[in-house]
Amino acid sequence: MFDELRGRVVLVTGGASGIGAGIVDAFLGEGSTVVSADLSAPEGGLLAGRDREWTLRLDVSDEAAVEAAVTAIDERFGPVDIVVTAAGTSTLGFAVETSGSDWDRNLDVNAKGSFLVAKHVAKRLVSAGRTGRIVFIASQAGKNGYRGMTAYVASKHAVLGVTKTMAVELAGHGITVNAICPGIIETPMKHRERIEGGAIRGMTAEEVADEDRSQVPLGRTGTPQDVAGVALFLASDLSSYMTGQGLNVTGGMTMH
């Protein structure tokens, strides 16, 4: 469908599960060479049966590790053409109970980690005089406030701020920078959030799941594939006149 993505080098952080894994599959389906970077990934190498996906163990909050990873990808495959920052974490807790360590964890992975990966990919693209695509995975939590998610909400607002600023700075180099703001997506992290969030609200995970579905105008929660389709669009030539945007993929929950 997106012929221009064939042969492109794509870096997906958080590619081992959830939204990131769905995005990895989508780019592989378009013929891209995909580097799936994740803190839980096996040591770097070719995955059996997947001749264009390479795994890379990476802590996105460690700038030296990020720079080394981008250099290694460049040396093996050539410059990264497209980066999708899907690595993320969350902790649950009301604002007055949020610890400094929980705050730091959310901001380090979700905000700083996304920024560092985009920074080092963009730096190489600019140095080489190449165009490219940066796609941040933010959240509708970057546009709204949610009970029990202070640190996570703050981190995703920060991602949207980085999106807008990098879009302005990189536009002259032909590099577009956009974000996807998923709503309620069925992933292992969402399942854990329902358990932990339900506990602090006196609800079961099943009750939270029912509440989730009731809030979506389209009548269902999302899948990683729903997000992956938008990532392909933002990486393709169809979105070449878009930059600095935060696109909602929420089934209608968020409309601004």
Neighbour-count burial of 69, counting CB atoms closer than 10 A to its CB (0-12 exposed, 13-18 middle, 19+ buried): buried
| Beta-bridge partner residues of 248 | 181
- Residue in 203, 221, 202, 201 with CA at minimum distance from that of residue 213: 221
4 Cβ neighbours under 8 A, 6+ residues apart: 236, 237
Active-site entry in 152, 185, 194, 239: 152
Residue 152 appears among annotated catalytic residues: yes
Return left, alpha or beta for 228; rule: phi > 0 is left, psi -120 to 50 is alpha, else beta.
Answer: alpha
User: Can you tell me whether residue 176 is helix, strand or coil?
Assistant: strand
Distance in angstroms (rounded) separating the CA atoms of residues 46 and 245: 34
Distance in angstroms (rounded) separating the CA atoms of residues 112 and 109: 6
CA 177 to each of CA 67, 88, 147: distance values in angstroms, whole numbers, following the listed order: 19, 18, 29
Distance in angstroms (rounded) separating the CA atoms of residues 34 and 7: 9
Catalytic residues: 152
